[in-house]
Amino acid sequence: MRLVGKRAVVTGAGTGIGAGIAVELAREGADVLVNYAHSHDGALEVARQIEANGRRAVVFKADVSRADEVEAMVQAARQAFGRIDILVNNTGITRFLDVFELTEGDWDQILDTNLKGMFLCSQAVARHMRQTGGGVIVNLSSVHSRTTMPDLVPYAASKGGIEGLTRALALGLAPHNIRVNAVAPGLIEVDRVRRDPLYDREMRAKQIPLGRVGQPEDIARVVVFFASEDSRYVTGQVLFADGGMTSKLSMRRTKD
């Protein structure tokens, strides 16, 4: 129970990795605001699991790319919990788009949600944390910031931007006792992945050095580490939680 007495906001927590993070934070003792944009039923189920762990839950719908909705979300958390100690920026859009068919609208929507939204949430919560003595921000990046595919241009660009954002925010917020770090997941078996008709768990597991596909709890436990006092001297870092996938790709042999 490393987070007893802490209050957290988790964006994009109605499904997938975000849902796993919200529940794990509650298991470690935190009260959690569960943010969602579309997954209302999922957010309610996450809140039920949080309350089953004896913690308080608030469900709040907000589009993180809109400053007014972000501010309303922060105010709701403050009203419910009194303060915010932890922000987990998890919301993200993944779309596979051919580079020649990618539209300006596609680019804007993905960058606005994945990168601009992360900044807006961080700024709004950091303003509050500065007044209350500090806190922790954990951003969700991806292995696609380092190695990616040709049909993920805006997604990869957003994830690379998240890592730069994390380092810059860490420097700017350190004087206010606010730590900022990022987790970069590899392949995580969420519903969206399972629904892919081309997904083959055994085949994908063979591509990962640890021999298995990741689960949401694998990422949630890393987030807990960053959110807790266990990492009190760590800021501005990106931790790749990918079963060794990026290390394997970076060590490909080349012909002499």
Closest by CA to 132, choosing from 77, 88, 176, 102, is: 176
Considering 36, 155, 199, 233, which one is annotated as catalytic?
A: 155
Contacts of 159 (CB under 8 A, 6+ apart): 114, 141, 142, 144, 145, 184
User: Contact, 3 vs 227, CB < 8 A?
Assistant: yes
The dihedrals phi and psi of 91, each to the nearest 5 degrees, come to: -55, 135
User: Contact, 118 vs 89, CB < 8 A?
Assistant: yes
User: Contact, 89 vs 140, CB < 8 A?
Assistant: yes
Phi-psi region of 7 (alpha: psi -120 to 50; beta: other; left: phi over 0): beta
Element of type H or E holding 96? none
155 is catalytic: yes
User: Contact, 86 vs 135, CB < 8 A?
Assistant: yes
Buried/exposed 24-48: b ≥16 CB within 10 Å, e otherwise:
bbbbbbbbbbbbbbebeebbebbbe
Closest by CA to 43, choosing from 22, 21, 13, is: 13
Catalytically active residues, by annotation: 155
